[in-house]
Structure 1
Amino acid sequence: MTAQPRIAILGLGSMTGAILTGLLAASVTTPERVVATTRTAASAQRQGERFPGVRVLSGEQEADANLTAVAEADVVLLGVKPKDIVVTARQIAPALRPKAVVVSVAAGVRAETLAGALPEGQPLVRTMPNTPLTVGSGVVGVAPAAGVTADQRALVESLFSGSGVVVPVSEEQLPAVVAASGSAPAYVFLLAEAIAVHAVELGLSAEAAEAMAAATVKGAGAMLVDAVTSGEQTAEGLRRAVMSPNGTTERAITAFEDGGFAGLVADAMDAAARRDEEMGREFGA
């Protein structure tokens, strides 16, 4: 691999835009060495203005935009929807350089399925990022397929390191990554939503309730990250530190526990993991 790899991003949107922002900020490569594609010409213009120096092509204006983007790439990031990813992989296969690393950010679509649409032996890495990547606080599970070298794996991990925490995993662990981080921001948003709704019922204004819920989630998250990073505390420890005996927080946590909170979270995570596996069967058919 070159010191500054040539990167193609097929489907430059919110998530892949966050990845691009992070890798440029970390000087993984330069804008002039990135070619991206979008569906519409209007989107290509907006993204080109957002990322000066990056060449952004649109399928609306150039039928072979994806083929053009990958022709010289060292890394190809597939940012299209899961339902479209196999078709896209098959489309670009003839234009790929033999050692170009193809990186998927799609849930469900297994490496075996993608490999079947790519040239034999094409380096392939599956990843599972989550949406906080868009604010530089994401989590990304990275699962290299067989045959990916240590240098190629390190290069792929570097693409994400500027936007969040990178966690090496096996492909078999990706459904758990989906459950624990990929879908998990929505769990947190649901909790914040429920807090805000009931705070209004308790007498706060909607604006105050939303602001309090958002700031509390942000603050608690920052405390947890600091504690876990330093090794000084765990989520359980932080929770217990807030709970005075027979105080308000203890009463609230008891209500959560009596309502089966832990079991409900487990059921939700299991549902997310099962759906990821179902998608693998659907798109592998």
Structure 2
Amino acid sequence: MSAQNDLTTESAAALPRTTMIGTGSMGGAILQGLRDPGVAIERPIVVTTKSAASAAKFDGADDIDARSAEADPEANRRAVRGAGVVILAVKPWMMRDVVREIAAALEPGTILVSVAAGVPSAAIEEALGDAAGVAVVRAMPNTPSFIGRGVTGIAPGSSAGDAELELVRRLFETVGDVLIVREDQINDIAAVSGSGPAYLFLYAEEMQAAAERLGFTAEQAKTLVQGTISGAAELMVRSDDDPAQLRRNVTSPKGTTERAVEVLQGADLGELFDRALRANVQRSEELEAE
């Protein structure tokens, strides 16, 4: 994790006891980032899992208090008692049931953070029922949070004020960059950065396959493609030039790169990305309607 995303003990004092329900791909990435020794957060972080086997993976970790619903049907309710922040990292179709399950155990002042796509904050607030003083914030992180290089969009629900939003911003800054957006932009955040790593991994997958078809071994193709992607990404981060200029820097007039770029641009990548992002947003909207 970069030094700029580290929280000092003083600035992290606002991060209270945190509970995470669900430790799948996204939840696990956030959790890994929060466990970084440079992050000052009240420990242990409490997590709940569905299976005892998943909870057992944290055996011996002094910074994690893991519990499973399989071993204790009251695990989720016990885990959220006394928590200042509860991160809901369960599947979208499980969200309302989990919120109803824990609502009575949440204390006034708790911030409920949902990282599920397609579940509006209004639906979560409705599922809370009579739970008083609980603020809802939606967050859309991505898996590079696992290494402290995530990008997270956060949006307040109607129950969240500036103080709650600021605390959630500080929490997710421990695992990368944070953008505060309107809730009607969360689906767009999901389409661009939430799912974005998958698009890049697909590019790497296809490039490695193409390199192998040129005659390189699988290991050689992996070295060529992954090294090129990681190096180019780091160059982009460190450079003051925008991606278009960086591309032009590599593309000599009438050269080999120009010829390849012409083929790619001939496929109308702009329109292809527009269609891909629209499909992603549409799926989020379908989930909201279910």
Task: Specify if TM > 0.5.
Answer: yes
Q: Which residue of 2 aligns with 1:133?
A: 145
Q: Are 2:94 and 1:78 aligned?
A: no
Deviation at 1:4?
A: 4.5
Instruction: Find the partner of 1:144 among 156, 162, 171.
Output: 156
Give the letter aligned to residue 62 of structure 2.
P
Work out the CA distance in 2 between the residues paired with 1:246 and 1:56.
60
Partner of residue 237, structure 1: 245
1:262-281 to 2 correspondences below 5 Å: 262-281=270-289
* Residue 178 (structure 2) aligns with: 166
How far apart are the structure 2 equivalents of 1:133 and 1:2? 21
The count of residues paired between Structure 1 and Structure 2 equals 276
Contact map agreement 2:122 2:158 (CA 8 A) in 1: no
State the alpha-carbon separation in 2 of the partners of residues 153 and 124 from structure 1.
9
Give the Cα–Cα distance (whole angstroms) in 2 for the partners of residues 4 and 236 of structure 1.
39
Alpha carbons of 1:23 and 1:56: their partners in 2 closer, same or farther (altered >3 Å)? same
**1:248-284 Cα deviation digits (max 9, x unpaired):** 11111110111112211111111111111111111xx
Residue in structure 2 matched with residue 178 of structure 1 by the alignment: 190
Match of 2:152, SS state, is: strand
Q: Percent same amino acid among aligned pairs? A: 40
Kindly state the Cα deviation for residue 149 of structure 1 after the two structures are TM-superposed.
Answer: 2.5
Question: Which amino acid is the alignment partner of residue 165 of structure 1?
Answer: D
Letter in 1 for 2:135: P
Stretch deviating more after TM superposition (5-14 or 79-88): 5-14
- The aligned runs of 1:104-119 (5 Å cut-off) are 104-118=114-128, 119=131
Residue 5 of structure 2 corresponds to none
Assess if the C-alpha contact under 8 Å between 1:22 and 1:161 holds in 2.
no
Match of residue 22 from structure 1: 33
Q: Which residue of 1 aligns with 2:9?
A: none
* 1:62-119 C-alpha deviation (Å, 9 max, x unpaired): 0000000011111110011111111100110011112100000101111111111013
- Taking the TM superposition and a 5 Å limit, the aligned residue runs for 1:77-96 are 77-96=87-106
Change (3 A) 1:219 1:2: closer
1:218 partner amino acid: S
What are the ranges of 5 or more consecutive residues in structure 2 without an aligned counterpart? Answer: 1-11
2:68 corresponds in structure 1 to 58
Contact 1:38–1:59 at 8 Å: present in 2 too?
yes
What does residue 237 of structure 2 align with?
225
1:201 aligns with 2:213: yes
Structure 2 residue aligned with 1:43, among 51, 54, 57? Answer: 54
Q: Which moved more, 1:57-66 or 1:134-143?
A: 134-143
Native 8 Å contact 2:87 2:114 kept in 1: yes
- Tell me the distance in 2 between the aligned counterparts of 1:163 and 1:9: 15
Question: Could you tell me which amino acid in structure 2 is paired with residue 8 of structure 1?
Answer: T
**TM-score scaled by length of structure 2:** 0.90
State the 1:146 CA deviation: 2.0
Aligned partner of 2:4 in structure 1 is none
Structure 1 length normalisation: TM-score?
0.92
Q: In structure 2, do the counterparts of structure 1 residues 27 and 191 end up closer, same or farther at CA, with 3 Å as the change threshold?
A: closer
- Answering whether residue 223 of structure 2 is matched by residue 215 of structure 1, we say no
CA deviations over 1:220-254 (Å, ceiling 9, x no partner): 11111222xxxx21111111111100111111111
Determine which structure has the larger helix proportion and give its number: 1
The question of whether the paired residues in 2 share the 8 Å contact of 1:28 and 1:159 is answered with no
RMSD of equivalent CA atoms: 1.7
Q: Which runs of 4+ in 1 moved over 6 A?
A: none
Whole-Å Cα distance in 2 between the matches of residues 123 and 110 of structure 1?
13
CA contact (8 A) 1:130 1:139 kept: yes
